[in-house]
Amino acid sequence: MAGLISGLELETVGPAVERVRAEIADAARRAGRDPGEVELLAAVKYVALEELGVLQDAGLTLLGENRAQELEAKAEAYPDFRWHFIGQLQSRKVKQILPYVELIHSVASDSALRQLEKHGTPETEILVEVNVAGDEGKAGIAPDALPAFLERAPVRVSGLMTMPPFAEDPEANRRHFAALRELAEAHDLTRLSMGTSQDFAVAVEEGATLVRVGARLYGA
């Protein structure tokens, strides 16, 4: 696949991981939170399978993949990682990814709910993707559709996820992260997947429990 990151070295990735962890901890403390409440998820969509050992050596334990076929291949090759699915979820791929993941971040359609009802287990856990920014270019359900969507969910919903518009200034997304936190609190949901390489510190300040970081970890 074109654009894959290769040639990763522990001398580069290890310090990058430590810097990101330190920034997460600092952001949590600024918000009066315990840094242990926030998990670092390494987004590996653009990381070649043969490079994953470097991530393991760097101390990463939680990985997220965007594509079902790549998730299957990588999880089978590296079963010691914890795996999450973080890409746009196609209902026909639900059955394929369920055996490999502990959490799906991106459920946002009734067709996906139907597949989860058919193939899920009592252990299946999901996040609902909410388009809090109202961005036509992003996936996710509308905030006002969440109560009914939660009622239709056939498996455990433990939290919410959002992907706001790209912004050069991380502060531009603070209001979106705050809106997702408020929505989660209103429905007694505890997990919040929000924040990527450019804005994860702001997301942590606003309550993120999972941050999805890619490029910052790989020097890309």
Q: What is the pLDDT of residues 148-185, one digit of tens each?
A: 999 999 999 999 999 988 888 999 999 999 999 999 99
The predicted structure's pLDDT at residue 6: 83
Question: Which residues, including other chains, have CB under 8 Å from residue 109's CB and lie 6 or more apart?
Answer: 89, 91
Q: What is the pLDDT of residues 182-202, one digit of tens each?
A: 999 999 999 999 999 999 999
Distance CA 33, CA 200 (A): 15
Distance CA 40, CA 210 (A): 6
Closest CA to 1 of 89, 67, 87, 84: 67
Q: Please compute, for residue 210, the number of CA atoms within 13 A of its CA located in the half-sphere on the CB side.
A: 26
Question: Which residues, including other chains, have CB under 8 Å from residue 96's CB and lie 6 or more apart?
Answer: 68, 69, 72
Report all structural domains of the chain as residue ranges with CATH numbers, in order of start. Answer: 10-218 (3.20.20.10)
The predicted structure's pLDDT at residue 1: 46
pTM: 0.95
Distance CA 93, CA 85 (A): 11
> Mean pLDDT, the chain, as a whole number?
95
The predicted structure's pLDDT at residue 220: 61
Q: Which residues of the chain carry a pLDDT beneath 50?
A: 1-2
Closest CA to 129 of 99, 108, 153, 159: 108
